[in-house]
Structure 1
Amino acid sequence: MSGSPILALRKAIIARLAANAALVDALGGAKIYDEAPRGVETPYALFADAQMRDRSAQSSRGAEHYFTLAIVTTQRGTSAALGAAQQIIDLLDDAPLALDGHALVDLRFVSLETKRDQNGRFARVAMTFRAVTEYLEPEGP
């Protein structure tokens, strides 16, 4: 059985984003996290909510994913964060990512939302994507 398609997808996304010099420059480093380290400076990209549903067919096992990536910043205004978000959208929408143990069938940008936390210190630009993956069956004996 293949490993988690969510983890395989995240690994491929991190590799694609971290390889883009313009995005790394906009974030001040390859700052793409599942959970931001304590004391890390903003801006950074953060995996937020994820949802996976079975999307198997008679001939193959698959999954449909909805996941959110957010740009987090403490800068006044969101223009720099929106710029970094657009770079991520451009890099991921319909990207041909190679996944460990899975095949990526489709990856699409779905929506974008900006939010401020309750104390107004952090702003988030959240991007939601939809992906469809299939499990790769292991080679026979």
Structure 2
Amino acid sequence: MTYALSGALKKAVYQRLTGSDALQQMVGDAIFDAPRVGAIPSLYVSIGPEVVQARSDRSGAGARHDFTVSVVTDNAGFQQAKAVAGTVTDVLSGPIGPLDRGRVVALNFRRARARRDEAGQQRRIDLIFRALLDDQP
């Protein structure tokens, strides 16, 4: 197993999301890979937590990364957040580009969870993706 590919995957996902014209039209530059400091936009996309499992074999090191991309809004309903979430899945369904280290063997959408916070002020859709990574060039 190797966790060494995690940073390269996050960077590639971030670049793919921020490079999407469709997503830019929906949320502007409100795409984050770190917690936002200062004023929080009313609608944004955030790359969140990941769970990594070993997937090495005799041919080399590899890992399975289940990572979350969240769409968060303080709008009254889910409609706009669902549209953005759909665009995120569309953007990540294509090639995300080369990694600084290793390669993406597969990247697939796994599931989503839409919910309101306890106070009912925010809506959040967590999109879970699975990337199979190989530490081979």
Q: Secondary structure at the match of 2:84?
A: helix
Measure, in 2, the Cα distance between the counterparts of 1:134 and 1:93.
18
Superposed CA deviations along residues 83-141 of structure 1, whole A, max 9, x for unmatched, are 0110110111252431111111000001111011111111101100001001136xxxx
1:25 lines up with 2:32 in the alignment: no
Measure, in 1, the Cα distance between the counterparts of 2:124 and 2:30.
18
Structure 1 equivalent of residue 71 of structure 2 = 71
Please give the residue correspondences for 1:31-110 in structure 2 after superposition, counting only pairs within 5 Å. Answer: 31-110=31-110
In structure 2, runs of 5+ residues without a counterpart are none
In structure 1, runs of 5+ residues without a counterpart are none
Q: Which amino acid aligns with 1:113?
A: R
Measure, in 2, the Cα distance between the counterparts of 1:117 and 1:85.
17
TM-score, normalising length: structure 1: 0.88
Measure, in 2, the Cα distance between the counterparts of 1:30 and 1:121.
19
Over 3 Å off, 4+ runs: none
Q: Secondary structure at the match of 1:13?
A: helix
Measure, in 1, the Cα distance between the counterparts of 2:12 and 2:86.
19
Structure 1 pair 3/136, CA: closer, same or farther in 2 (3 Å)?
Answer: farther
Q: Secondary structure at the match of 1:77?
A: coil
TM-score, normalising length: structure 2: 0.91
CA contact (8 A) 1:67 1:130 kept: yes
Q: CA RMSD in A?
A: 1.7
CA contact (8 A) 2:30 2:41 kept: no
1:33 to partner: Cα distance: 2.7
Q: Secondary structure at the match of 1:95?
A: coil
Q: Which amino acid aligns with 2:44?
A: Y
Count matched residues.
136
1:24 to partner: Cα distance: 1.1
CA contact (8 A) 2:3 2:63 kept: no
Q: Percent identity?
A: 28
1:132 lines up with 2:132 in the alignment: yes
